[in-house]
Amino acid sequence: MSKDIQTGLFPVSYRIALGSVERPILGGASLTLKLLVDTVNKQVSGVGHITQPVSPPLNLVSQFTGEWSYICTMKECHILVVAEGFDLSPLLVGGHPIEHKNAKLRMVMNEDWQCGVANFSFFARGQWHEVEGARAELSTIDAQQSRKQLEESAAEKKPVLED
């Protein structure tokens, strides 16, 4: 096997909310996101759970799929994650569930995948709702487990910036 071929599939979990993750804005929507990052094909997939403590409370689950890429300036690189979420309907057509798009995500992460800023939108109660400028942070539950793998992957795949 060639030394140049590198593979990787890493699990990450993020908590995305306005304010800080420890002190989110009261009443604001938040997104808990569990993704698998495919470093070879630059794809992400996983499950997101959007909640909002309003009356009636929001409890939305989505299956996210999308892609990631590096965006670099002369000084630094960031990681852009773009994904869409789908809710699977219990109705079957031809033996397959009907997919309904119910969430969208655009997230810019630091090059180490640890934290960043996200915009997400979700479809609830008959209309789209937008959350902009939310803080995205690696969940502490999976942080220790994923941090080393993410740092290694980021170091291997990071584009080289020329001076």
Distance CA 133, CA 127 (A): 20
pTM of the model as a whole = 0.78
- Round the average pLDDT of the chain to a whole number and report it: 83
Q: What is the pLDDT of residues 76-103, one digit of tens each?
A: 999 999 999 998 777 777 877 778 899 9
Check if the beta carbon of residue 158 is closer than 8 Å to that of residue 150. no
Q: What CA–CA distances, in Å, run from 97 to 30, 38, 64?
A: 27, 25, 16
Residue 146 has which token pair?
A: 């994923």
The radius of gyration of the chain's CA atoms, rounded to the nearest angstrom, is: 17
156 by Cβ neighbours in 10 Å (0-12 / 13-18 / 19+) ranks as exposed
Whether residue 53 is predicted with pLDDT greater than 90 in this model: the reply is no
132-149, pLDDT tens digit by residue? 999 999 986 555 555 565
Extents of the domains making up the chain: 9-157
Residue 163 has pLDDT above 70, yes or no: no
Report how far residue 8's alpha carbon sits from residue 103's, in angstroms, rounded to the nearest whole number.
26
Least confident of 28-37, 82-91, 106-115: 82-91
